[in-house]
Amino acid sequence: MAVEVATFGMGCFWGAERVFSRVEGVLSTEVGYAGGDYENPTYRDVCTGKTGHAEVVRVFYDPDRVTYEQLLEVFWENHDPTTPNRQGPDVGSQYRSVIFYHSPEQREAALKMKSRLESSGRFAKPIVTEIAPAAKFYRAEEYHQKYFDRHRVSNY
């Protein structure tokens, strides 16, 4: 079985992980930090907004069961890609909307879908989602992994 990886930032990584972990064909998820210039950041470091990292979810999936395009749909449907550095009550560059692509094909698919959404009129404001090459991923502290499942939060 082939396993591919996708990385998305869409606000607090707890909710993003919950959403993607429920997608058929997703084999596993992990949350962490990517896109910054600070080595080995901690949650406390990232929360300052000074490291440049975004909270992200890394998604390992079986491309025979779920396509990257389907994962992109989940991404676009589960956050507001028009709010710069903010999702709901979470404010700061660590909560930005970002797609970190791992291949030229992922880059092309992300750009194509973003363009299609921009011209569709689905969003009243411009899409601010960043599309960037996969950055070094730093796995978040263990207490952040599968947070909602471990704390039995079911209303998300």
> Can you tell me the distance from the alpha carbon of 27 to that of 54, in angstroms, rounded to the nearest whole number?
23
CA 152 from centroid of its chain's CA atoms: 22
> Can you tell me the distance from the alpha carbon of 83 to that of 19, in angstroms, rounded to the nearest whole number?
19
The answer for 55, left when phi > 0, alpha when psi is -120 to 50, beta otherwise, is beta
Active site (annotated) includes residue 47: no
- Residue of 6, 10, 12, 66 marked catalytic: 12
Q: Give me the residue label for tokens 């991923």.
A: 137
| Catalytic residue set | 12
